[in-house]
Structure 1
Amino acid sequence: MARGAATQLVLVALVAAMLLVATDTTISCGQVSSTLNPYISYANSNGANPTAACCSCVSSVASAARSTADEQVACKCIKSAPGGLNAGNAADIPFKCGVNIPYAISSSVDCSKIC
């Protein structure tokens, strides 16, 4: 089990590194979605605390989103997560993981107003 978690963290770090290399382009929803798989699992659960993998992926996306356009894309992708989000879990993740993002994770956030 621990080996699987370690492999998942390595994959998350690899995807994050690929996102960071593409500095001249806006991140895509596909990139955000593939990075956020551990986040989506937690956000859809009834768990009390996010996993290390969840926090790592949220941090990776926050670091990769370097422009307003990137933040807007990330916001829209998170909002359109498959299966929806557990509102309480989704909103608490940045705080619980110690990651600062410029918008609330909520189905009602207007991603176009991120600046």
Structure 2
Amino acid sequence: MAARSSSQQLVAAAVLAAALLLLAAGAGTASAAVSCGEVTSSVAPCLGYAMGSAASPSAACCSGVRSLNSRASSAADRQATCNCLKSMTGRLGGGVSMANAANIPGKCGVSVGVPISPTVDCTKIN
């Protein structure tokens, strides 16, 4: 049971982080590479909402979303983060409400210009 919960949390984190990468597509300044650990840490507070156990994203979730959006400011950062997340989602299974995951950026006041989807083509992120 704990393994399934952990798997669901990682999938949720991956989906959310992919969404956050897409948010940052409009930013154009270079930054240090964003690690998979940083992505997971940034979106971990969003898991309750993404998995349907919370009515709205927490303040910590929104802070993480904004922080990740700021850090993943180059195309290389966004693509690397996207690929990391897709790798995680490929290894793990369900439990995430895609509707909730897609709503997180908007509920946190972060603009998204690309649809949020676990099937996003990371090479198209710029």
TM-score, L = length of structure 2: 0.61
Please state if 1:75 is matched with 2:82.
yes
**2:59 maps to which residue?**
52
Mean Cα displacement is larger for which, 71-80 or 95-104? 71-80
8 Å CA contact 1:32–1:74 kept in 2: the answer is yes
Runs of 4+ in 1 over 6 A off after TM superposition: none
TM-score by length of 1: 0.66
Q: CA RMSD in A?
A: 2.3
Amino acid paired to 1:50? P
Partners of 1:43 and 1:57 in 2: CA distance? 14
Change (3 A) 1:92 1:39: same
- The residue number in structure 2 matching 1:113 is 124
C-alpha distance in structure 2 between counterparts of 1:24 and 1:63, whole Å: 9
Letter in 2 for 1:29: C
1:104 paired to 2:104: no
Structure 1: where are the runs of 5+ without partners?
A: 1-22
Instruction: Give the secondary-structure state (helix, strand or coil) at the position aligned to 1:109.
Output: coil
Identity of aligned residues (%): 47
Letter in 2 for 1:71: R
Distance in 2, matches of 1:57 and 1:25, equals 17
Tell me the secondary structure at the aligned position of residue 36 of structure 1. Answer: helix
The separation in 1 between residues aligned to 2:66 and 2:37, in whole angstroms, is 17
Change beyond 3 A, Cα 1:50–1:24? closer
Provide the C-alpha distance between the structure 2 equivalents of 1:112 and 1:77, rounded to a whole number of angstroms: 13
Q: Go from structure 1 to structure 2 and tell me whether the alpha carbon gap of 1:45 and 1:65 turns closer, same or farther (over 3 Å shift).
A: same
Q: How much does 1:57 deviate?
A: 0.6
In the alignment, structure 2 segments of 5+ residues that lack a partner are 1-29
Q: How many residues align?
A: 93
Cα 1:24–1:62 shift into 2, 3 Å: closer
The superposition leaves residues 50-107 of structure 1 with CA deviations (integer Å, 9 ceiling, x where unpaired) of: 1111111111100111101111233344553665431001111111111124533321
